[in-house]
Amino acid sequence: MVAPGGSARDTAAVTQGTQTAVDLDRHVYGSVEAPIRIVEYGDFECPYCKAAAPVLRELVDSSAGVVALVWRHFPLFTVHPFALTAALAAEASGPLFWQMHDVLFANQDRLTDADLTAYAERIGAGPVCGPTAQSFREAVKADYKSGVALGVRGTPTLFINGDRYTGKVKLGELRLALGLR
């Protein structure tokens, strides 16, 4: 659930009748102080998200601290059978989230529990499956619900400083949309 105001930059979730704080901006790539914030709703099994990942990274890396990227999970579980478990594994990777993010996209066609466990070992993360991963269910659910509240229907869906971006996820087009050279 998106906090009052309904922007793509909120922190709050209501779950099962109790207030559970979930930082929806917990996965930031780039400077948290960047004046331009791109929120991506993504799915680790989505080929379009995989294609967008290096473009968005380059945009942030070449922006001299002006642009930051926020990842929010939006697993399309009805068409991608491993998207939810991959999202949970990424969450369970803790501070190694972005490393796991990259490994998951690099191995998008191999996301079984055994694969996820091997990836976690490779990057030095702890357990990322089973009960450990399930403890992150509410965080993934909060991301998903915030996307639904903003009208997200597919992935990747981007918001730039709270406004939905409908252009192509191409470096030149994004730079132009952001007023960057």
So where are the chain's domains?
11-178
Q: What is the pTM for the complete model shown?
A: 0.88
3-class SS shares of the chain: helix, strand, coil, % to 5: 40, 20, 40
pLDDT at 17 over 50: no
Q: What is the pLDDT of residues 135-155, one digit of tens each?
A: 999 999 999 999 999 999 999
The top-level CATH class assigned to 11-178 is alpha beta
Residue 1, Cα to own-chain centre: how many angstroms? 16
Confidence at 20, pLDDT banded by 50, 70, 90: low
36-42 and 67-73 strand pairing: parallel
Q: What is the mean pLDDT of the chain?
A: 91
Average pLDDT over residues 88-96: 97
Confidence at 181, pLDDT banded by 50, 70, 90: confident
d(CA 12, CA 35): 22
pLDDT at 108 over 80: yes
Percent over 70 (pLDDT), the chain: 89
- Strand-pairing partners, residue 165, are 158
Average pLDDT over residues 116-140: 96
The predicted pLDDT at position 3 comes to 32
Q: What is the pLDDT of residues 151-173, one digit of tens each?
A: 999 999 999 999 999 999 999 99
The predicted pLDDT at position 29 comes to 98
